[in-house]
Structure 1
């Protein structure tokens, strides 16, 4: 069986976006849009509002990148990132949205591959996501 191509015309990449705040999830989707880079396929999004649902969807597979809000409550994205990296044998890349730039060390502790601070800067987020997706491909 042939493996589908991940080039520009391949199947869409699935991005899990976690935050308890629907405005943060919307900001992420709007910042990234449908196509982040000409070499990558279109993006589709799975919005998740609770920590247990993040774990459930990640366990099920089919996610190419997880973007987790480190400021979410009651379960923060950094704790979830650490749990996913500890428990999933083939965990996709994780990007954590931190409360401030100085919190990048916490994102590294959580084993996230990237961190972008709030407020969401579309260029900074887009560059980080494109780099993670191109590396994963």
Structure 2
């Protein structure tokens, strides 16, 4: 595995939500994943710029962000970026999980974030991204 930390983009218009997500997932979501580096962004323009740059390994989007929420933004990214990195959407209500599924999110976490569940979810998504394709 690379010695470079994986880059995780965290989007919310509210700094305290970004901080909660980062604190919950932690700097090392799992031993086999290694350390991660967070790129915090507060606007859709910043998300698009970072995602278009091609160096993001995973994005965590706040489903409640204003004026554009992470659910709609996830769907846009999944439909517009070829080979889009995996995306985790954080929602406020368990009932909103179906919206995150509609958005083509790779996983969903629900506020208040449980640190064990959040770290495990991110680690699982990163692991599935790293699996090699086996043919024949």
The CA deviation at 1:86 is 0.3
State the number of aligned residues. 130
Contact 1:36 1:130 in 2 (8 A): yes
Superposition RMSD on alpha carbons, in Å? 0.9
TM superposition outliers: structure 1 runs of 4+ over 3 Å:
none
The CA deviation at 1:32 is 1.8
Unaligned runs of 5+ in 1: none
TM-score, length basis structure 2: 0.92
Q: Which one of the candidate residues 80, 84, 100 is aligned to 2:73? A: 80
Contact 2:8 2:38 in 1 (8 A): yes
Unaligned runs of 5+ in 2: 131-136
Q: Is residue 106 of structure 2 the alignment partner of residue 106 of structure 1?
A: no
| Mapping 1:92-103, distance limit 5 Å | 92-103=85-96
| Mapping 1:49-128, distance limit 5 Å | 49-128=42-121
The CA deviation at 1:40 is 1.1
Q: Distance in 1 between matches of 2:14 and 2:113?
A: 13
